[in-house]
Amino acid sequence: MISSWGMLMPPSEVAARAVSQWLLLPIPGPRVLPESFQGYASALPAERSGCDRCSLLIVPAVLTIPLDGMQRIANALRNGATVIIESGGGFAGDLNFRQHRRFLREHLQIDVQSPVDLWKGDARRVPYIDYTWPHAAKVRDFSRVVPLGDHEGAIIAWAGDRPVGLRRQVERGTLIFLGSPLGPALWAGDAEARRWLLGQGFQ
């Protein structure tokens, strides 16, 4: 499989890679969910942040990523990094969500469905996303999820029977897509969310 930015996409592999340094990719303009950005920043070890050639690159609550950001992601994957793309589409308006979906499809070959409001109506529900990789974890949902449609890669998170997390190997790196934001749970101090994130190869 060849992405639109020219990267070979072989099948998924299983083990999380060791992380030496991490970076939150800055996206110009107002942040969709500022608490998500803060959540990752607060959960990860500060002394390992801010590198140019990091092994964990995170894009919190994103709708679209400009070209220079995509180039950084491509470079990171080429160099064997793990890249987490967290969807910010759950609370986006129709127009913004359409742009988000088109961006994911065209640039990352990730097909997503329209956001689902998990709390719509009166039905009580179990408020957790179930992560299955790199280890099992239950993390609170964030009310709305962006479920995956047709996908290439391994499903690593579920909201009930809806797939909301994807892991795929891209060149030497690992691409992770989260359709349910994890950052707000980190920001609120959710220990399971932190454990899941640190499970991305922090020793």
Query: What are the residues binding other proteins (CB under 8 A)?
Result: 32-33, 35, 91, 119, 124, 127, 140, 142-143, 184, 187-190
Q: Closest approach of Cβ 174 to other proteins, in Å?
A: 28
Residue with tokens 């909301």: 164
Nearer CB in complex with other proteins: 184/201: 184
Cβ atoms of residues 161 and 169 within 8 Å: no
DSSP string, 90-129: TT--HHHHHHHHHHHHHHH---BPPPEETT-SS-----EE
Q: Which residues lie closer than 8 Å to 37 by C-beta, 6 or more apart?
A: 24, 31, 60, 61, 183
Q: Closest approach of Cβ 47 to other proteins, in Å?
A: 24
Nearer CB in complex with other proteins: 46/124: 124
Phi, psi of 76 (to 5 degrees): -60, -45
Indicate the SS3 state at residue 99. Answer: helix
CA 132 to chain centre: 14
**Could you tell me the two tokens for 109?**
């070959």
Q: Closest approach of Cβ 5 to other proteins, in Å?
A: 29
Query: How far is residue 143's CA from residue 184's CA, in Å, rounded to a whole number?
Result: 11
Cβ atoms of residues 103 and 63 within 8 Å: yes
Q: Closest approach of Cβ 80 to other proteins, in Å?
A: 35
Q: Closest approach of Cβ 185 to other proteins, in Å?
A: 8
Nearer CB in complex with other proteins: 119/152: 119
Q: Which residues lie closer than 8 Å to 176 by C-beta, 6 or more apart?
A: 82, 83, 84, 85, 156, 165, 166, 167, 168, 200
Q: Closest approach of Cβ 159 to other proteins, in Å?
A: 13
Nearer CB in complex with other proteins: 6/93: 93
Nearer CB in complex with other proteins: 134/184: 184
Nearer CB in complex with other proteins: 92/108: 92
